Chain A
Amino acid sequence: MKALFYIIIFVIIIVACWQFVKLLGLTKVENQTATEKENNLNGWLLLGFMGFVYGLMIYSLIGYKDVLLPQLSASAEGHHIDVLFKLTMGLILIVQFIIQFVLFYFSFKYRGINNRKAYFFADSHKLETIWTVIPTIVLSGLIIYGLWTWNEIMDSSDSKDPLIVELYAKQFQWEARYAGQDNELGNANVRFIEGVNTMGVDFSDKNASDDIPLVVSEGNFVKELHIPKDRKVIFKLRSQDVLHSAYMPHFRAQMNCVPGMVTELAFTPTVTTAEMRLNEDTQAKFEHINVIRKEKGEEAVEFDYLLLCNKICGSSHYNMQLKIIVDEQADFNKWLATQKTFAQLN
């Protein structure tokens, strides 16, 4: 019933709009189409609107710099992406600032006042060739550079001694498994899920026994995923139920987890968690965040790498996360040695 009340309010606003204009309309002679006076006014308003758009763009570009991800990419592959991103963004912004100006300035300049005469100008092969060829050249450059970058990132075939980690997605948590001594993951399938074997590992597979699960048997969630700095990490992704997406924005990495198949994503971390906490961007961002949190009466936080789910997966999609810790290699090895393999757990 309250919905009806709101609908009636909206209808009253609509009726009021019309009545209001009718009242104003009584006092002036209506011309059906735009008059020169209106052309002039709207022309100036377009110029003002251009000011608004430019103001908004500049304000956003400067004012929102703090909320962006830290500039420093935490992976070697991410660095390639950042370079390409900056180049492309730079080009886009230049084009945007020029073209919007031309559009609004022409709209203002040629507003129909003082009996202006339009100029019959229907075609120019020269102009059209120019604006077909220039975008083609620029885009070709971007395509070639983009594809080179893409291949650098996606091709992990030549990496030496990579660390192999499985990420296992399910509504609404992440589990993980390290490949262990043999650096090969044992087979797994949802049909093996039973009791503590929450990831469906096939223990009859000889590669499975040395695998190190990151799942705590009492059903506690995994708290942290450790990975080493300067060593290629190849993630093998699986999903238990629906599509999920492993998104690690600080590493500029993302790949979907697809039920029924194993997908892959790889990168070489280059900045440890401790180093990233000392990064200037990160510190500025977290100072800002902690001020906001203090106002809300929440405790202060410090930076951590995160794995988020980035493919709609159900009610709690918005809270499916895992903390990632990047360690120096020695620290990582020490930590891994304290973890139990399946053989030791069973």
Chain B
Amino acid sequence: MSDHHHKETFVTKYVFSQDHKMISKQYLITGIIMGVIGGFMSMLFRLQIAYPEESFSIIEAFLGRAGEGGVMTPDMYLSLVTIHGTIMVFFVLTAGLSGTFSNLLIPLQIGARDMASGFLNMISYWLFFLSSVIMLASLFIETGPASAGWTIYPPLSALPQAIAGSGLGMTLWLVSMAIFIASSLLGALNYIVTVLNLRTLGMKMTRLPLTIWAFFVTAIIGVVSFPVLLSAALLLIFDRSFGTSFYLSDIYVAGEVLHYKGGSPILFEHLFWFLGHPEVYIVILPAMGIVSEVLAVNSRKPIFGYRAMIISIIAIAFLSTIVWGHHMFVTGMNPFLGSVFTFTTLLIAIPSAVKSFNWITTIWKGNLQMNTALLFSIGFVSTFITGGLTGIILGDSALDINVHDTYFVIAHFHLVMGVSAIFGMFAGVYHWFPKMYGRMMNKDLGYLHFWLTSIAAYGVFFPMHFVGLAGLPRRYYSNTAFPIFDDLADINVLMTIFAIIGGLAQLIFLANFFFSISKGQKSGRNPWRATTLEWTTPVEHIHGNWPGEIPAVHRWPYDYSKTDENGDLWGGEDFTMQTVPIRDGEEEF
């Protein structure tokens, strides 16, 4: 692995690279491109929701025949919400977030030359790339992309007679996701093996930065739950193509009775949510890890309750695998089962509350360095709390009945896992950009990006709760068919305006990101004065990460502003690198 004199060609360095740092950049840029596409879709359907009868040339420009005359068709609306959800959850917040930061930080922060298997890591990225291409290709086919919602519940997703998107579009969706799952499993196994085996001398599990703990546990949840989605998808492929009846039974559609007998869509729902719920923690845990790290570095204080943070990550991960049924309270599942899932679901609020209080205590009496990464981390804590609290309503089976599948749910999960995870991802990008590209991102553009984004996020998703409480179901192409929803028009317009502001604000991020890669100011080796190992590597990337020996670790990663018995800072600095041995008279935390 340390043969860094070996000649690199353009292809082995930039395309089929096995270097974790390059793979991490590939994940990030692919994730950003997918994010732009998924985000742009939401702009289009927000226009439709706010102005259902008006014509927009931008809709016609991008949707072609499905947007003839500037008004999108109902099928296209459903396709857009389906693909928006799929892209954002899987391609941006799973691959884009975990793929980028697990790859970048696991070797660098634990002190390893690379991932356990660079080759598998490369395969993992290229499978992700392939699945992205297939997903995007499905946008251009005659019958339109998948349109049964990102949860692809059969029978709708199984029957092209029921909706056009369930033809070739759905096939491509399933193929793309099967490849995606393979990619994600290869990545996750690699992360787990690397964290367990390749830690440098002195890097005990209890000296790992919380980022690594989060990525490690996330990878474990992924390995436990993604295969279940694969089997769900395979059985759906069987039902669609080979006439089996795993999910289908007693169906009459398009004037004829179908042969299916004995299957149940509820089986699919169980299998889907067995992944689907852990998935939201696969999305949020890495963001939590990043935020913990960024808050500690920029508060110039240790993270509060390091051990409690680790325990709550593990508790959340464990509970996340036994709460999936709360998505199914009103599906016809036995009500007793509903009671059990209510119990486990509300328990998950406890470790989440512990984490939130610990973040706030980390800020308390700190010396906050208000860079963009810290701002996004504070934003994360805020939106995570706002969105998380309404989870107490949705997780309670009795209360879920009346808000299930309404905009209340959309508001809840966008705040708690959408906006929060994206904020965590932005915090990570701004914080580790110097590590990735050896340059700094522009501060002023960063501040502007944060302020516009966070105002837009609250502006879109806070009022949305009330649309849900008014009883408006999600995935309605238009609510003009119901006079009782006429008074929601103003709120919908307001949310769309905020959404467009938020969308435009991302152009600022794109400008900052792409220009800073080549034009940004050169960064120092440790610009944020952090303690962790990645900042001991040279700014210029080299294969194998450290030119000489891998440094040994002597302490935990959060020795910020530690003072001796006289109240003076140890070493005269407000941070002590993990590589510094414990000094005479100093107590290890």
Whether B356 and A99, one on each chain, are in contact in the complex, defined by CB atoms closer than 8 angstroms, is yes
Q: Main SS of the interface on chain B?
A: helix
A253-B330 Cα distance, complex, nearest whole Å: 9
Whether A67 and B481, one on each chain, are in contact in the complex, defined by CB atoms closer than 8 angstroms, is no
Beyond A103-B382, A258-B264, A318-B481, is A34–B370 a contact (Cβ under 8 Å)? yes
Q: Which residues of chain B have C-beta atoms less than 8 A from A193's C-beta? A: 252, 257
B-contact 0/1 string along A212-244, CB 8 Å cutoff:
000000000000000000000000010011110
Counting CB contacts under 8 A, is B368 at the interface?
Answer: yes
Whether A259 and B250, one on each chain, are in contact in the complex, defined by CB atoms closer than 8 angstroms, is yes
Contact pick for B350, options A139, A146, A171, CB 8 Å: A139
- Size category of the A interface is 35 or more
Q: Give the distance to chain A from B286, nearest Cβ to Cβ, in Å.
A: 21
Beyond A120-B563, A189-B250, A314-B163, is A60–B463 a contact (Cβ under 8 Å)? yes
Q: Which residues of chain A have C-beta atoms less than 8 A from B488's C-beta? A: 67
Whether A171 and B162, one on each chain, are in contact in the complex, defined by CB atoms closer than 8 angstroms, is yes
Q: Which residues of chain A have C-beta atoms less than 8 A from B366's C-beta? A: 110, 118-119
B-contact 0/1 string along A252-287, CB 8 Å cutoff:
111110111101100000000000000000000100
Beyond A64-B463, A64-B466, is A147–B370 a contact (Cβ under 8 Å)? no
Beyond A17-B445, A32-B523, is A119–B404 a contact (Cβ under 8 Å)? no
A-contact 0/1 string along B506-540, CB 8 Å cutoff:
01101110110001010110011000000000000
Q: Which residues of chain A have C-beta atoms less than 8 A from B58's C-beta? A: 6
Interface segment, one of B182-190, B216-224, B334-342, B421-429: B334-342
Whether A33 and B527, one on each chain, are in contact in the complex, defined by CB atoms closer than 8 angstroms, is yes
Q: Which chain B residue shows the least CB distance to A99? A: B385
Q: Main SS of the interface on chain A?
A: helix
Whether A260 and B250, one on each chain, are in contact in the complex, defined by CB atoms closer than 8 angstroms, is yes
Whether B155 and A6, one on each chain, are in contact in the complex, defined by CB atoms closer than 8 angstroms, is no
Q: What number of B residues sit within 8 Å (CB to CB) of A?
A: 144
Whether B369 and A33, one on each chain, are in contact in the complex, defined by CB atoms closer than 8 angstroms, is yes
Q: Give the distance to chain B from A237, nearest Cβ to Cβ, in Å.
A: 8
Q: Which residues of chain B have C-beta atoms less than 8 A from A191's C-beta? A: 250, 257
Counting CB contacts under 8 A, is B487 at the interface?
Answer: yes
Beyond A67-B488, A92-B389, is A120–B370 a contact (Cβ under 8 Å)? no
Interface segment, one of B125-133, B194-202, B226-234, B391-399: B391-399
Counting CB contacts under 8 A, is A42 at the interface?
Answer: yes
A316-B528 Cα distance, complex, nearest whole Å: 54
A311-B122 Cα distance, complex, nearest whole Å: 40
Whether B330 and A318, one on each chain, are in contact in the complex, defined by CB atoms closer than 8 angstroms, is no
Within 8 A of B (CB), among A134-187: 135-136, 139, 142-143, 146-147, 149-151, 153-155, 170-171
Whether A60 and B378, one on each chain, are in contact in the complex, defined by CB atoms closer than 8 angstroms, is no
A18-B448 Cα distance, complex, nearest whole Å: 12
Q: Give the distance to chain B from A314, nearest Cβ to Cβ, in Å.
A: 5
Counting CB contacts under 8 A, is A25 at the interface?
Answer: yes
Q: Which of A110, A136, A256 has the most CB of B within 10 A?
A: A256
A243-B476 Cα distance, complex, nearest whole Å: 15
14 inter-chain pairs at a CB distance below 8 angstroms, sorted by A residue, are A33-B369, A68-B469, A100-B386, A118-B561, A147-B397, A153-B401, A189-B250, A193-B252, A241-B162, A243-B265, A256-B332, A258-B266, A258-B331, A314-B163
Given contacts A92-B389, A314-B156, 15 further A-B contacts (CB under 8 A): A14-B511, A39-B369, A112-B368, A118-B366, A120-B562, A121-B302, A121-B365, A143-B343, A147-B397, A154-B338, A190-B257, A193-B257, A245-B330, A258-B332, A259-B248
